[in-house]
Amino acid sequence: MRNRKNKSIRNKRIMMGAFLVLALAAASAIALAQEYLPRKWDTRKVHLSFNHYYDWNEVGEALEKLEKAYPKFLTLRSIGTSYQGRELWYMTINNPDTGDEMDKCAMYIDANIHGNEIQGGEVGIYTIWYLMENYPYNDYVRELVDERVFYIFPSVNPDGRDLFIHTGGSSRSGQAPFDDDNDGLYDEDPPEDLDGDKEVGSMFIKVKPGEGGYRMSDKGDRLVRVKKNIEGKPDELGDYKYIGSEGIDNDGDGRYNEDTGGGYDPNRDWGSYWQPSYIQRGAAAYPFYWKEAKLTKDFFYAHPNIAGVQAFHNSGGMILRVPGPQLHGEVPMSDKAVYDEIGQKGEKIIEGYDYFVIWKDLYNVWGGFIDFTYDMLGVFSFSNELWASRADLDGDGEVTLEEEEFFSRYIDMGNTEVAMHEIDHPELGKVIIDRDTTKLSGRIPPSWLLEELCHRNMAFCLLHAYEMPLPVIKDVSAEKINPDLYKIKVTLYNERLMPTLSAAAVQHQVQRPDILSLKGNIEVLAAGQGQGTGLPSGIPRRYLMFFRGRGAGGSDVTLLDQKDPGNIKLFNGIPGRSEAEYQFLVKGKGEVTVELDCVKGGTHTQKIQLN
């Protein structure tokens, strides 16, 4: 009996011990889950909604809230003010523990250069928020924040953004005064929101049958254009006449809203392949004419560490790359390879988007922003046209009117529909206002689809940022030739896709070369590059033999004929995903510091002792 009792007690103790172990394991698992789950609500430090479009005051409040929550990583600054006095905010993301921002490759993201193309602003805010909220939990995010710098501009046209959000109407332009109708007056006849619904609709008046170009739809809920000259059918008689966009005739010239705010195109104001307005509609008197463009240009020249550019527009679901004008010609093949890899991966990241060349697949653009950043700065640059309709319900690649109506009625619940209505116009009397849908439709996603758009486009930006140059000094070795003469071999390595100098930067001479130098109590007698090294990535090893034979006397080193062999200029930079080997003949002893200084990639050092 005693043995059975002892055995029973022993079993109970084992069970209790096992239970305690399981309880501790469960508690640890819960604690770990609470610590490492990035999407758990109670781990969020900043609560922002991404089913909402922010006006400029709200943008500023969101940015300030983020900076306050993450002061170590975030710095909110302004490059100046817009024409109407709004701050041109940008957020810098940098981890100071891993280095100074100017010593790292930077990713520049902006949006909303066209005032009515607003959703890119939300992508920018989302990117800041996501990187900060997920930094403690996500290895990929942490690697990006530690290695890179981000400069994020939610809008480079806040005047146009606020006009669009609060009023509507023609807000593609910036809002500096512009004489659209050549009458010597500026912006004297803009549209007005007469019915107070924050939309600018179209105005129609009732006329005699046959005197108008529109009629009531068969359903009686819309005005539709009359049909004429259709074989076998009589011409339709229109009894509604289109007057213009919603507003009054402010200048008394008999026309409505013909001289609204602005009237130019801010994305035709940049220095690469710029053309005057009689060739490129919307261009100003000369490149960088508008205040916002000049401030942005100055920012780029003050931040040569920028190695990637992303601009957000709408719409159409496109990932666009240069060139804008056909006259430019194709980009160099090594740069094209970089563009193609990122762009083609982008098609997988952003569902339904196509990777296109601007002039070839869209239209010619003269003086475009990303042509400036690529041609004049040598920076790999993309422009995404945000939002492609989700109403292709049968998946055949075409969106029919029936599919749009079904999507609007049964999926979007009619949230973007605006009923035709009548108002008392101060000059015209009874006027029909017909808009069909709100401004937050067509080119802009329904708010409930906005967060997905933000996340996928952010993910594309992060891929771009990840593939920016990441050069290092991989190895340094020394071979003693005689008591005070050494051969020092330096191997450089760029782990990522992009070279430290793009082919455009080299061709246009818009970026200083990388510099590889030796420092110490030595005299550098000669320097050379190892044959078959420093070549663009992707060349199969079996073909490297064709790049040999350049050295003198059968040497495997090509002499670099430069004035100062102790500070050699790497005119072509370090190719992506490649090694480059350099050898130095030096006289002397003691400690030698090898330094690699890259504009896009920072400064790196390694020491070696010559004994």
Instruction: Give me the DSSP letters along 187-199.
Output: S-B----TTSSS-
In this predicted model, which residue has the larger pLDDT, 550 or 189?
Answer: 189
Residue 43: pLDDT above 80? Answer: no
Let me know whether 435 and 457 are in one domain.
no
Let me know whether 460 and 532 are in one domain.
no
Residue 550 included in any domain? yes
Residue 562: pLDDT above 60? Answer: yes
Let me know whether 494 and 599 are in one domain.
yes
Measured between alpha carbons, how far is 201 from 247 in angstroms, rounded to an integer? 9
Residue 446 included in any domain? no
Let me know whether 279 and 380 are in one domain.
yes
What residues form DSSP beta bridges with 418?
436
Q: How many domains does the chain have?
A: 4
Residue 400 included in any domain? no
Instruction: Supply the pTM of this predicted model.
Output: 0.88
Let me know whether 423 and 351 are in one domain.
no
- What pLDDT is attached to residue 534? 63
Residue 106 included in any domain? yes
Let me know whether 155 and 283 are in one domain.
yes
Let me know whether 64 and 96 are in one domain.
yes
Measured between alpha carbons, how far is 578 from 599 in angstroms, rounded to an integer? 18
Let me know whether 476 and 458 are in one domain.
no
Residue 328 included in any domain? yes
Ranges of H-type helices in 232-350: 291-302, 333-349
Residue 427 included in any domain? yes
For 290-308, how does the pLDDT look when each residue is reduced to its tens digit (9 = 90+)?
A: 999 999 999 999 999 999 9
Let me know whether 252 and 271 are in one domain.
no
Q: Find the length of the chain.
A: 611
Return the CATH number at 379: 3.40.630.10
Which residues constitute the domain of residue 434? 179-260+408-441
- What pLDDT is attached to residue 167? 85
Return the CATH number at 483: 2.60.40
φ, ψ dihedrals at 36, nearest 5°: -110, -5
The answer to whether residues 384 and 457 touch, using CB atoms and an 8 Å cutoff, is yes
For 486-500, how does the pLDDT look when each residue is reduced to its tens digit (9 = 90+)?
A: 999 999 999 999 999
Residue 60 included in any domain? yes
Instruction: Kindly report the number of other CB atoms within 10 A of residue 414's CB atom.
Output: 11
Q: Which residues contact 304 (CB under 8 A, 6 or more apart)?
A: 511, 599, 600
Residue 394 included in any domain? no
Range 569-573 average pLDDT = 96
Residue with tokens 């005119």: 571
For 383-431, how does the pLDDT look when each residue is reduced to its tens digit (9 = 90+)?
A: 999 999 999 999 998 999 899 889 999 999 988 888 899 999 999 999 9
Residue with tokens 């569902």: 351
Let me know whether 248 and 337 are in one domain.
no
Measured between alpha carbons, how far is 314 from 171 in angstroms, rounded to an integer? 13
Residue 432: pLDDT above 50? Answer: yes
Let me know whether 342 and 302 are in one domain.
yes
Let me know whether 274 and 253 are in one domain.
no
